[in-house]
A and B are shown apart, each in its own frame.
Chain A
Amino acid sequence: MTSRVCRTCGGSDIDVDQARGSAVCTGCGSVLEDNIIVSEVQFVEGSGGVSSTVGQFVSADGPVKAPILGSGFHISVGKESRAQTLQSGKRQIQQLGSQLQLNQHCLDTAFNFFKLVVSKHLTRGRKMEHVIAACLYLVCRTEGTPHMLLDLSDLLQVNVYILGKTFLLLARELCINAPAIDPCLYIPRFAHMLEFGMKTHEVSMTALRLVQRMKRDWMHTGRRPSGLCGAALLVAARMHKFRRSVKDVISVVKVCQTTLRKRLTEFEDTPTSQLTIDEFMKVDLEQECDPPSFTAGQHKAKMQQLEQELARKLDEVEGEISCFKDEIETELEKSRPKLRGVYAAYTKEIGWYSSEEVLSSTSDPEETEETEMQATTQHLTQDFLCQVIQEEEGQGKTADEGFCDQETEPETLGTTTRPQVTPLSVILGKLPSAARLGLQESFHTFAGSETGVKPDSDGELDLKDIDDQEIEKYILNEKEVEVKTELWMKQNAEYLKEQKEKEERINKEKEQGTYKEKKKKYKKREQIEASTAGEAIEKMLEKKKISSKINYDVLRDLNGVTGSPSTTTSDPPEGNATRKRLSRRRRKTSEVNPDLSVETAVTMATKPTTTEAAAAPTPDAIPDTGSTPPAAPPPAEEEEEEEELEEECVSALQLVGGQSRLLF
């Protein structure tokens, strides 16, 4: 609104009429301007005579966030990405919220949450649906509406735990403390769904009292509120003489039948369940109960204690019985005719072992196996008496002394079972012996490996505590390998077939020359024609919408003298980066790209250490021949640039030492 001077009369009193859009001199009346661009609000008549404003509301902080780059770089003109996100978010919120019948205030709050979430970049990597649902649920919780997370997951057909995860994360990041769910909130909603007609209110009140009672009795901690509501409503309905079956209730409340039954039984255990209906409505019991899982835990502990006591008693009783039995046996033996010589010793051992068998049914499997072995030898190997007797004598001794002391037993058993294995393997097969050997050896090695472990930082294996023999068992021998191979092949036949077909397909395509390696998918890029590297960089960056974190001045200076290499694109440590980039280049050139091979021959011929020198002249060469090879130059250019960067970085690093790192 500059006060202008009238052309005709020179007066400075000019009247600008916004409505008509004209500027008129009040002195002489001449029209200075016509059709001024008006910034008044315009109205348009819609259907039904409703007038609405023309135009949109633009947010104040919309396009202000233009990144400050160097001169000459254009941002893609059009709607800002952030505004688009917010708009689509708002739309989705409205849609979902209306399905849940949330009022407008809630929806606005939800949208505010969403804006916060977007500004904190929490939408990245998450589905928009999940984020929207989480925002809506956040609103539901803060407002206290009777909406469950299950409802939202029903609408979206998403797993409720996934939604829950997103919700928890958002609540934590936004520092919003959602108040805890009160089951009382859900009662009116479920009662309404159960269709109690006129008496809905009364039933709800009864159910509310029940829920409050449950809370006092500690049934509600750690449980889904909907389960409690279901149980309360069922009882309340029955109290008011409504016939609602368990199935009706669970279809409304969305819990399983088992859960409902369990809640009912828990409630039954509380003293409140003993009251009559009238008493319940009037009286409120003072006592509180423990939570049911706590009582269950205590019950378990009690049972365990009882069992232990029983076991002890049993042992005592067994001790008594064994005494009696021994006495009886000795008496019997006295009365029996005595065997002479070798057989005497034999019978003694056998008698002892058979009694052992009866009593020690609960001893560890080693011993029972031993006793079983003994029994079988008795029956089957009458001819091998001498051999067997010797071994038994040996075992008998060890069993006597080593009954309580397990450490010596395994060793001696181990030594004595070895000779026994061969005759018995014929009878019993190889399997039990292997298992037993394993167990014994494991005892042995376990005793050995109790000592502390020293940390070895070299990378060499400390073999001190490792028993090689045991490890050998982990490796199958030749025959077993064959068997396993066969099995495995059969099992995974399908997978192997697929792999073969894939390979054949690839080979065929290779022969035909139509083979496209699908490993890297590059978008089709147009060639950039530029005369100098600097221009090429500029043009590429224009097209590529580079982020604001690159210092473009430095990029431009790269072609010239070694500037300060402070770009954030080469963040990873230089050593790794050079290796990575060079290997990438090598890999790239190994791809079917015959046209590029000419240039790369130049670069590839040189050794890795000298490519840095070669890299310098090539960037100039490549943009010139950039037009001819198809599709390769832009990635190659970028690579060359990045390699140039690296080259600079490396040389700078050598010169300056670690200083360049500070610039990152």
Chain B
Amino acid sequence: MDSSGDEALDIIITNVVATFRTRCHLNLRTIALEGTNVIYKPEDGKVLMKLRKPKITASIWSSGKIICTGATSEDEAKLGARRLARCLQKLGFKVNFSAFKVVNVLAVCSMPFAVHLIDFTKNNRPIASYEPELHPAAMYRIKTLKATVQVFSTGSLTVTGPNVQNVAAAVEHIYPLLFECQKPKPLCK
């Protein structure tokens, strides 16, 4: 998945967030009392339900909107969501699984070289921003892909985007820019 050709960069997806609707009103108290692994948060008006199998945490609102986080792939997110809906169905609600959408994908990638952040920010002026007082990484936002890449000085990247393809494209996009601002090979250590 890497444009340089020599080595393949491992893009590891660490988190996938997805939402879906059950199109029916849910009674949070019932879910809280009759389900295992649920946490009721009355002040936020939601229930947190954690599934073991695809390791997923779901926030369930009474309106029927559900947000699933913690999956490691898009398919897993969908499976987890369906499982959750099935669970709710068993609890007695007339669940209709609709509007499933993957909202955010977070991936981690590591460059084999370190990056000089100040040069990188200078070269990509308005798109990249670096505030060492606030956060140790430089943030690069790709508008066309709607993806954000956080570049750390060690060469590790954190990429977030709306789906896996965008994330991969973002890494490919940013690789040449990082390659330019590579740290020169050190002599010591």
Residues of A participating in the B interface, judged by any CB pair closer than 8 Å = 148-150, 160-161, 164, 167-168, 171-172, 175, 177, 180-181, 218, 220-226, 271, 286-291, 293-295, 297, 438, 442, 445-446, 449, 452-453, 455-456, 459-463, 465-466, 468, 470-476, 481, 484-485, 488, 492, 495
Q: In the assembled complex, how far is the CB of residue B106 from the closest CB belonging to chain A, in whole angstroms? A: 20
3 nearest A-B pairs in the assembled complex, by CB-CB distance: A222-B136, A221-B153, A164-B134
Query: What separation, in Å, do the CA atoms of A167 and B130 have in the docked complex?
Result: 12
Contacts of A289 in B (CB 8 A): 186, 188-189
In the complex, are the beta carbons of B154 and A148 less than 8 A apart? no
Residues of B participating in the A interface, judged by any CB pair closer than 8 Å = 23, 32-37, 40, 42, 51-53, 75, 78-79, 82-83, 85-87, 89-91, 95-98, 114, 116-118, 121-122, 125-126, 129-134, 136-137, 152-155, 183-184, 186-189
In the complex, are the beta carbons of B130 and A180 less than 8 A apart? yes
Query: What separation, in Å, do the CA atoms of A149 and B132 have in the docked complex?
Result: 11
Contacts of B51 in A (CB 8 A): 474
* One of A168, A466, A484 near B86 (C-beta < 8 A): A466
* One of A150, A221, A459 near B118 (C-beta < 8 A): A221
In the complex, are the beta carbons of B153 and A291 less than 8 A apart? yes
Q: Which residue of A lies closest to B97 (CB)?
A: A461
In the complex, are the beta carbons of A290 and B189 less than 8 A apart? yes
In the complex, are the beta carbons of B85 and A461 less than 8 A apart? yes
In the complex, are the beta carbons of A463 and B114 less than 8 A apart? no
Contacts of A161 in B (CB 8 A): 134
Contacts of A485 in B (CB 8 A): 33
In the complex, are the beta carbons of A175 and B134 less than 8 A apart? no
Contacts of B78 in A (CB 8 A): 453, 455
Query: What separation, in Å, do the CA atoms of A463 and B85 have in the docked complex?
Result: 10
In the complex, are the beta carbons of B97 and A218 less than 8 A apart? no
Contacts of A453 in B (CB 8 A): 75, 78-79
Q: In the assembled complex, how far is the CB of residue A457 from the closest CB belonging to chain B, in whole angstroms? A: 9
In the complex, are the beta carbons of B91 and A475 less than 8 A apart? yes
Q: Which residue of A lies closest to B22 (CB)?
A: A459
Query: What separation, in Å, do the CA atoms of A588 and B83 have in the docked complex?
Result: 41
Q: In the assembled complex, how far is the CB of residue B53 from the closest CB belonging to chain A, in whole angstroms? A: 6
The answer to whether residues A291 and B114 also contact, given A221-B153, A488-B32 and a CB cut-off of 8 A, is yes
**Interface SS, B side:** loop
In the complex, are the beta carbons of A168 and B133 less than 8 A apart? no
In the complex, are the beta carbons of A445 and B53 less than 8 A apart? yes
Q: Between A and B, how many residue pairs show CB distances below 8 Å?
A: 146
In the complex, are the beta carbons of A222 and B137 less than 8 A apart? yes
Contacts of A449 in B (CB 8 A): 79
Q: In the assembled complex, how far is the CB of residue B88 from the closest CB belonging to chain A, in whole angstroms? A: 10
Contacts of A471 in B (CB 8 A): 83, 86-87, 90
Contacts of B188 in A (CB 8 A): 271, 287-290
Q: Which residue of B lies closest to A485 (CB)?
A: B33
Contacts of B91 in A (CB 8 A): 475
In the complex, are the beta carbons of B116 and A221 less than 8 A apart? yes
Q: Which residue of A lies closest to B36 (CB)?
A: A474
In the complex, are the beta carbons of B186 and A288 less than 8 A apart? yes
In the complex, are the beta carbons of B33 and A461 less than 8 A apart? no
The answer to whether residues A488 and B36 also contact, given A222-B137, A459-B98, A471-B90 and a CB cut-off of 8 A, is no
Contacts of B137 in A (CB 8 A): 222
In the complex, are the beta carbons of A297 and B132 less than 8 A apart? no
* One of A287, A290, A455, A475 near B90 (C-beta < 8 A): A475
In the complex, are the beta carbons of B187 and A459 less than 8 A apart? no
Query: What separation, in Å, do the CA atoms of A222 and B183 have in the docked complex?
Result: 14
Contacts of A488 in B (CB 8 A): 32-33, 40
Query: What separation, in Å, do the CA atoms of A291 and B187 have in the docked complex?
Result: 13
In the complex, are the beta carbons of B35 and A474 less than 8 A apart? yes
Q: In the assembled complex, how far is the CB of residue B26 from the closest CB belonging to chain A, in whole angstroms? A: 14
The answer to whether residues A297 and B53 also contact, given A150-B133, A474-B35 and a CB cut-off of 8 A, is no
Contacts of A463 in B (CB 8 A): 86
Q: Which residue of A lies closest to B137 (CB)?
A: A222
Query: What are 30 of the A-B contact pairs (CB < 8 Å)?
Result: A149-B134, A160-B133, A164-B131, A164-B134, A167-B131, A180-B121, A180-B122, A180-B132, A181-B132, A220-B132, A221-B118, A221-B153, A222-B132, A222-B152, A290-B189, A453-B75, A456-B97, A459-B23, A459-B97, A460-B96, A461-B86, A461-B95, A466-B79, A471-B86, A474-B37, A474-B51, A474-B87, A476-B36, A484-B34, A488-B40
Query: What separation, in Å, do the CA atoms of A222 and B34 have in the docked complex?
Result: 48
* One of A290, A460, A475 near B36 (C-beta < 8 A): A475
7 further A-B contacts with Cβ under 8 Å, apart from A177-B125, A289-B189, A453-B78, are A181-B131, A218-B183, A221-B117, A455-B78, A462-B82, A463-B86, A495-B42
In the complex, are the beta carbons of A466 and B35 less than 8 A apart? no
Query: What separation, in Å, do the CA atoms of A243 and B118 have in the docked complex?
Result: 34
Contacts of A460 in B (CB 8 A): 96-97
In the complex, are the beta carbons of A476 and B35 less than 8 A apart? yes
Contacts of B42 in A (CB 8 A): 492, 495
Q: In the assembled complex, how far is the CB of residue A186 from the closest CB belonging to chain B, in whole angstroms? A: 11
Contacts of A468 in B (CB 8 A): 86, 90
Query: What separation, in Å, do the CA atoms of A452 and B74 have in the docked complex?
Result: 11
In the complex, are the beta carbons of B154 and A472 less than 8 A apart? no
In the complex, are the beta carbons of B153 and A293 less than 8 A apart? yes
In the complex, are the beta carbons of B87 and A294 less than 8 A apart? no
Query: What separation, in Å, do the CA atoms of A462 and B98 have in the docked complex?
Result: 12
In the complex, are the beta carbons of A180 and B53 less than 8 A apart? no
The answer to whether residues A481 and B131 also contact, given A222-B137, A459-B23 and a CB cut-off of 8 A, is no
Q: In the assembled complex, how far is the CB of residue A497 from the closest CB belonging to chain B, in whole angstroms? A: 13
Q: In the assembled complex, how far is the CB of residue B167 from the closest CB belonging to chain A, in whole angstroms? A: 20
In the complex, are the beta carbons of B89 and A461 less than 8 A apart? yes
Q: Which residue of B lies closest to A171 (CB)?
A: B129
Query: What separation, in Å, do the CA atoms of A449 and B114 have in the docked complex?
Result: 40
Query: What separation, in Å, do the CA atoms of A436 and B137 have in the docked complex?
Result: 43
In the complex, are the beta carbons of B86 and A288 less than 8 A apart? no
Contacts of B121 in A (CB 8 A): 180
Q: Which residue of B lies closest to A465 (CB)?
A: B79
Query: What separation, in Å, do the CA atoms of A617 and B87 have in the docked complex?
Result: 53
Identify which of B33, B36, B152 gathers the most chain A CB atoms within 10 Å of its CB. B33
Identify which of A160, A172, A290, A474 gathers the most chain B CB atoms within 10 Å of its CB. A474
Q: In the assembled complex, how far is the CB of residue A531 from the closest CB belonging to chain B, in whole angstroms? A: 46
Query: What separation, in Å, do the CA atoms of A178 and B9 have in the docked complex?
Result: 33
In the complex, are the beta carbons of A291 and B89 less than 8 A apart? no
Query: What separation, in Å, do the CA atoms of A586 and B189 have in the docked complex?
Result: 76
Query: What separation, in Å, do the CA atoms of A453 and B78 have in the docked complex?
Result: 8
Q: In the assembled complex, how far is the CB of residue A263 from the closest CB belonging to chain B, in whole angstroms? A: 13
Contacts of A472 in B (CB 8 A): 90
In the complex, are the beta carbons of B33 and A484 less than 8 A apart? yes
* One of A218, A287, A466, A484 near B114 (C-beta < 8 A): A218
Q: Which residue of A lies closest to B155 (CB)?
A: A294
Contacts of B89 in A (CB 8 A): 461
In the complex, are the beta carbons of A290 and B186 less than 8 A apart? yes
